[in-house]
Structure 1
């Protein structure tokens, strides 16, 4: 996953301020209607030759990895030919609903999990319970958080491909300068604060607090959940991020600045650059950072699960999930072939993991080959502690205001409590408007 533009990062499905689709003309209010069910499919397709259009936003280093998998699938399935179209995520999320509305949409694609419910409500994507049932896929094949995240109003609309969580990246050279053991990164809140204090005494600001959604909002959400809080009620009826756990989480980030563990006014990406340049010891960032750091010569670094600052483990994550798009005239053969493709890619997601992902499929994660990808495997140990936004249409509109609160607090313009309280009032109005827009 390339790290070139913030607009693309927003499309990662941040879990805070996630990109939401305005699918004009693709239906709305009143919830989704059931599309004609696809014919139950085995893992092989024996029908007539079909061509499938597969769209996604893998324009970074992950694109060639997926293209290689698609080419292999086509070679092994001569009666199914999959063509892959790749767009920037922001363009993809504009093109897909328009194409579906015009009757010219792709057959299947990838969506970030935070966008699935909105597209289901707008009837852009089809229910996939029959796909999961036909392929024998259950929660036990994945993990509870990522499996449940693809369900909207009691129906499944997506099949998980991966998760891409935050991890704690650390500069071993910097740790050694402060007398810290570079092979024993901090695991608890007490250990983490002790490490930051040791770094401070050595003249090093160890954890740069970024006020930007990438990755300040991700860090806030992580700390919120570690403190036992939630961004929203499960049904997204009201916001909850301004409650005590949220205030504690944002205060912790602000105190990094106030206590001198972080500089003020950290710029976008400056925290990640500081890790690479030996100016910071720790950086909480996404799994996609692995391949970036591997390209830097002579950099001694490692990655571990996020430290447990609060009372329970938790970590932000995004997830790429397969979806099947609504067609004006459903083709049972294409729907069957799409099931085979989804299942095949999921079962071959070890190669996908090398691009900087954690496979959603448990059988892949439990294998020796994935364990050999030590950095991905380290981050993957958090799989059962990941959180996602409630599967509610338009939820990203409400979560976007949290970004503003985090920015104002970390830049010391507002207190954490005031910033979150103001944002919660705005978010609650958006949630109410969404209930009217999409149907309660």
Structure 2
């Protein structure tokens, strides 16, 4: 589904890869897992860059709901500035359809001037010549510099030495807690925040105290049924806390630490054991349980904060406690990318840099949705410190863990889907952790043997 809002549209000439030219035929042949065949129709109404004035920019993104509204308001602010270009937004369905259509537009020479991608998806696109490099010198003219980004986020913006993404935010996996239930349980500190825990035993004890004071009897809500991405967020968080790493070398086999896989899985099972948390929640029931005041805490993405605020839930948020070490947590970032154009117009590219610089510098508006701005001057602004609960988990920018880079990993990817397909049997206690994990690894090893479609 495509929604047109104010702005302008563009697509780009064909992209090329190190191995030769990339065209629609070759992309369709290589991208069966991405469902590329159905995306040509979505591109038929898009005009090329040469058909539009240079002060009109085409912007594709996957931001809908409150995020889409906020982005529209931010773009209105930019377009009200002197000399600003007009920006036309094209909003496409989230997930594989969006990424397929973006790739098809690039291959077909009809790419937009600007697009949003999740940072973890960029490594699958940049090496294939589908994305152009940002000009850091040009950004400097608009007041944006490398030192304005946290190191972990900057590292995700650079692929093979090229600045191919500009992160707008990070959106980590976090812990929500009901402040009324937490107060009744006696687990709030003198500052009114959830007491820190740094061991599995202490965290479980805290969760049990929350459950003893919650109507449902559960201290934690976590939805996993039918949701591979949410399963991966939880697993990735605790596996990384344990020191686990994953490598996905093309043409080889997945590299990981088996003993840490089992330890992370067993810990998660202990949190959905029918005592600490409900053992059979999907995303909706977990959200509902916390939203109605039924449970003491909730594992989820920062994007749920607006929903809970609108429902009047008495809640606060915190980084997921580092019970196995550093409080690292799964995250991804909405990032701006330059879809490849063979002969980009310098003035149009300058306008894109100006627009993105404005969005970064005014991203405190974006923070209202719960996302952590990637542009450090906004985080350091006293106005951000006044945002609650956003400022209570802002330190997560120093503890983010992204997906291992591969053409099939990242938000909404087959990597997440396959993980859920095989590991859901583990959480449901139908198979042991290693059996589920090995089935997942077998699928990933098969993907590693395939030629990346991009």
Into which bin does the TM-score normalised by the smaller protein fall? 0.7 to 0.9
Matched, 1:121 2:127: yes
From 190, 195, 208, give the equivalent of 2:206: 195
Name the structure 1 match of 2:440: 423
Q: Per-residue displacement from partner, 1:356-401 (whole Å, max 9, x unpaired)? A: 2111011111110111112111121111100112333333444542
Q: How far off its partner does 1:65 sit?
A: 1.3
Verify: 1:98 aligned to 2:104, yes or no: yes
Q: Corresponding residue for 1:13? A: none
Name whichever of 172-181 and 272-281 sits farther off: 172-181
Check conservation: 1:224, 1:245, Cα contact below 8 A: yes
Secondary structure in 2 matching 1:110: strand
Structure 2 residue runs of 5 or longer lacking an equivalent are 1-13, 23-52
Match of 1:411 among 419, 428, 444: 428
Task: Tell me the residue number matched to 1:83.
Answer: 88
Match of 2:177, SS state, is strand
Report the equivalent of 1:52.
Answer: 57
1:418 and 1:166, CA in 2 relative to 1: closer, same or farther beyond 3 A? same
What is the SS of the residue equivalent to 1:146? helix
When residues 258 and 73 of structure 1 are mapped into structure 2, their CA distance, relative to the original with a 3 A threshold, is: closer
Judged with a 3 Å threshold, the aligned counterparts in structure 2 of structure 1 residues 31 and 246 are, in CA distance, closer, same or farther, namely farther
Q: Distance in 2 between matches of 1:201 and 1:56?
A: 44
Contact kept, 8 Å, 1:224 with 1:241, in 2: the verdict is no
d(CA) in 2 for partners of 1:284 and 1:32? 45
1: CA distance, partners of 2:229 / 2:441: 20
1:145: how far off? Answer: 1.6
Q: Tell me if the contact between 2:119 and 2:334 (Cα under 8 Å) persists in the aligned partners.
A: yes
Of 81-90 and 329-338, deviating more is 81-90
Matched, 1:282 2:297: yes
Give unpaired runs (5+ residues) of structure 1: 1-24, 34-47
Matched position secondary structure for 1:229: coil
- After superposition, the C-alpha distances for 1:140-194 in whole angstroms (9 at most, x for unaligned) are 3111221111222222211111111122101123334545438342432333211
How many residues align? The count is 396
The match for 2:152 is: 145
Q: Is the 8 A contact 2:188 2:195 kept in 1?
A: no
SS in 1 for 2:194: coil
1:278-357 matched pairs, under 5 angstroms: 278-297=293-312, 299-357=313-371
- What's the offset of the Cα at 1:113? 0.9
Distance 1:31 1:372 in 2: 52
* Post-superposition offset of 1:29: 7.1
Cα distance in 2 for residues equivalent to 1:135 and 1:27:
25
Say if 1:133 and 1:31 are closer, same or farther in 2 by CA, change over 3 A: farther
- 1:198-277 equivalences in 2 (<5 Å): 198-201=209-212, 204-211=217-224, 212-232=227-247, 238-241=253-256, 243-258=258-273, 260-277=275-292
Cα deviation code 1:290-329 (max 9, x no counterpart): 11111113x3211111111212220111201111112243
- How has the CA–CA distance of structure 1 residues 32 and 341 changed in structure 2, closer, same or farther, with 3 Å as cutoff? farther
SS at match of 1:68: helix
SS of 1:437's partner is coil
Q: Does 1:162 align with 2:173?
A: no
Q: Distance in 2 between matches of 1:225 and 1:110?
A: 27
1:186-227 deviations in whole A, cap 9, x for unaligned? 432333211223345557121234333352321111001111
Contact 1:160 1:320 in 2 (8 A): yes
Maintained 8 Å contact 1:65/1:352: yes
Q: What is the CA distance between 1:430 and its match in structure 2?
A: 1.5
Deviation string 1:57-115 (CA, Å, 9 cap, x unpaired) is: 11110112111121221121335222222222244323322223332221111111122
Indicate which of 190, 194, 200 corresponds to 1:185.
194
